[in-house]
A = this chain, B = another copy of it.
Amino acid sequence: MILINGESKEHIEISDRGFQYGDGLFETIEVRDGSAVFLKRHLERLNLGCQRLCIPYPGAELLSLEARKLCRQQDLTRAVLKIIVTRGSGGRGYRQPDVIHPTRVLSLHPYPDYPLTYQEQGIVARFCTTRLGLNTALAGIKHLNRLEQVMAISEWNDPDIQEGLMLDANGHVIEGTMTNLFYIKNNSLYTAALTQSGVAGIMRRIIMTLSADHGLSVVEHEFTQDELLSADELFVCNSIIGIWPIRQIETVHFSVGPITKNIQSWLNRFTSDDSMEAGCIG
C-alpha cells in the first residue's frame, strides 16, 4: 500500500518536480512490530531538508499519522517505510511555482533479508571509482538526486562484496553507497564531517551520541584511504542494517573489534528502548 497525500494510490503526476528534477527529499525507516523506529528523528531530518530546499514541511503530526496508518495495515514484524516529500507539481522549467503544494509519498517495502553474519562477522567492502561531487548546499541532506549512488553501486556485481566506499572529488573518504562510515583508531571514533557531500544519517548521529555518552572521543574530520586502511576497527551503518563491521576492504583484512561490539550492544539497547516507546505512543 502506498499513500500519496493521504490517499491510497500507486501513481504520481508526470509534472511532479520529484520526477522532473529530483526536487525533493526522502527518509528510509525501519518498521519493527508495526512501529517506525526513530520516526521522530527521521522527521526532524526531513524537516531540516525541507528548510534547506525551501519546500514547505508537511508537518510531523500529519506524517506520523500516515506512517502509523501504513504500518498497521498489515501484520508487520519487520519492514521498511519510505517517506518522500517533493516540491509538488508545476513551475515553468527549473523555477518553482509561487505557491508550493508539496507531494508526500509513504510506501512500505519488505525488510531486506541480509544474513545475520554481516552484523556478527562483518562484511567485505571496496572503493568505488565514482566520486561524490562537492556541494555545500546539498551536503548532509537526503535529497532525491541520487545518480552518484546509482552509478557507484553499479560498479560491482560480486555478491561477496556488500558495500562500496565513496570518495569525494578531493579524494577524501566520505561514506558508503547506502551507509555512513566510521573507523576506530587508538580508542577514538572517526567519521567524515559531511560539510561538502554525503548524507548525515540518523544512525550516524545516534552512534556518535551513544559513543560520546560512553566516554569515547568522537571526531568528525577529513581522511584519506590510507588513514582508513590503517584503522584498528571500522564499520558502516544505516537505519535499516544497524551496524555492519567491515572485515575486509579489497586485500586488507580487519577484525571485528571490541569497540565496534560495544557500540553494537549500546545501539541494540537504545533501539529497543525507542521501539518500546514508539509502541506506547504509536
Q: Provide the A1-42 mask, 1 if CB < 8 A to any CB of B, else 0.
A: 010100001111110111111110010000000000000000
Q: Select which of B2, B95, B107, B144 is within 8 A of A154 by beta carbon.
A: B95
For the complex, is A169 an interface residue (Cβ under 8 Å from B)? yes
What is the number of residues of chain A that contact chain B, defined by CB distance less than 8 Å?
Answer: 55
A219 interface contact, C-beta 8 A: no
**CB closest residue in chain B, given A105:** B14
- Contact check, B135 vs A133: say whether CB atoms are below 8 A apart: yes
| A178 beta carbon closer than 8 Å to chain B | yes
- Flag whether A131 is at the interface (Cβ < 8 A): yes
What residues of B have a CB within 8 angstroms of the CB of A54 in the complex?
154
Contact between B14 and A150, CB atoms less than 8 A apart? no
Question: Could you tell me if A14 and B22 are in contact, using CB atoms closer than 8 angstroms?
Answer: no
User: Within the oligomer, what is the number of copies of this chain?
Assistant: 2
Instruction: Answer yes or no: A96 CB below 8 A from chain B CBs.
Output: yes
In the assembled complex, the CB of A92 is this many whole angstroms from the nearest CB of chain B, namely 7
A123 within 8 A of B: no
Cα A54 to Cα B22 in complex, Å, equals 19
Q: Which residues of B contact A196 (CB under 8 A)?
A: 169
In the complex, chain B residues whose CB is within 8 Å of the CB of A84: 19-20
Q: What 15 additional pairs, Cβ within 8 angstroms, besides A21-B145, A22-B147, A53-B151?
A: A11-B11, A11-B14, A21-B147, A21-B150, A22-B144, A22-B146, A53-B150, A54-B154, A87-B150, A94-B149, A131-B137, A133-B138, A138-B151, A143-B147, A169-B196
Sorted from nearest, which 8 A-B pairs have the closest CB atoms? Answer: A133-B133, A22-B22, A11-B11, A145-B145, A21-B146, A133-B135, A134-B169, A94-B149
